Amino acid sequence: MQYEIVYEEGLTHIGYGRIEKILVCKLPEVAAQTFQLLTGKTIAVALLTPCQTAGKDATKELTSYSRKLATIATDLRNIRSVVGRFQTHGEWFIIDRSGEYASPASCDVDSDSEGDEEEL
């Protein structure tokens, strides 16, 4: 999958990796100073293993990797698309055809609605 992290300085990191787990966490009403803005909220976190791609964007240039990095945790909303890969000569190449043609969307689903897909 492709993920994107935007830093406060305005820098954007595009990376590729494998999702290991998705965790949904309800934070307590009383949170540490670090998490005050998220007090009482439910968040979704993805644990992913990034691939060493030197920051290349596979939608724009040939991108490959032969090693993975340490597992990280990131907001699930940072995941941008699902990608493919193939291996040749000991190296994995990423196939990312998302570009401007596809982007994920999330929506709130009311658990009380009875199969009304029109709301999605």
pLDDT tens-digit profile of 55-107?
899 999 999 999 999 999 999 999 999 999 999 999 999 999 886 655 556 66
Q: Which domain holds residue 33?
A: 2-101
Cβ density class 40-62: b for 16+ within 10 Å, e for less: eeeeeebebebbebeebbbbeee
pLDDT digits (tens, 9 = 90+) for 17-49: 999 999 998 888 776 666 677 788 888 999 999
- 55 in a structural domain: yes
Domain count, the chain: 1
Residue 20 lies in a domain: yes
Q: Is 18 inside any structural domain?
A: yes
Asked if residue 43 is part of any domain, the answer here is yes
pTM over 0.75: no
Element (H, E) at 21: strand 12-26
Classify residue 120: in a domain, yes or no: no
* Residue 74 belongs to some domain of the structure: yes
Contact yes or no for 22/76 (Cβ under 8 A): yes
**Is 112 part of a structural domain of the chain?**
no
